[in-house]
Amino acid sequence: MGYGQHASTQSRGPLRSLLSWVFYIVVIVGLVWLVQTFVVCPYTIPSGSMEDTIEVGDNVWSEKITYYFRDIEQGDIVTFDDPEIAGRTLIKRVIATGGQTVDLIDGVVYVDGEPLDEPYTQGKPSEPLKTASDVDISYPYTVPDGYIWVMGDNRTSSADSRYFGPIPVSSVSGRAAMIYWPLDHIGVL
For the chain, give every domain's residue range: 1-38, 41-188
Q: Is-catalytic flag, 49?
A: yes
Q: Tell me: the pLDDT tens digits for 63-93? A: 999 999 999 999 999 999 999 999 999 999 9
- In eight-state DSSP terms, residue 130 is P
0.95 surpassed by pTM: no
**pLDDT averaged over every residue in the chain:** 91
**Annotated catalytic residue within 8, 11, 20, 49:** 49
Query: What's the pLDDT score for residue 18?
Result: 87
H helices, E strands: number in the chain: 3, 12
pLDDT for position 89: 94
pLDDT at 7 over 70: no
**Candidates 62, 92, 158, 173; catalytic one:** 92
Task: Please tell me the predicted confidence (pLDDT) of residue 167.
Answer: 97
Just give the CATH number of 41-188.
Answer: 2.10.109.10
| Contact call for residues 165 and 151 (beta carbons, < 8 A) | no
* CA atoms of 168 and 80, how far apart (whole Å): 9
Q: What is the pLDDT of residues 109-132, one digit of tens each?
A: 999 999 999 999 988 889 988 888
10 falls in which pLDDT band (50, 70, 90)? low
- pLDDT, tens digit, 9 for 90 and up, residues 44-66: 999 999 999 999 999 999 999 99
Q: Residue 52: is the preceding peptide bond cis (ω within 30°)?
A: yes
User: Measuring CA to CA, how many Å separate 148 from each of 16, 23, 55?
Assistant: 53, 43, 23
Query: What share of the chain has pLDDT > 70, as a percent?
Result: 94
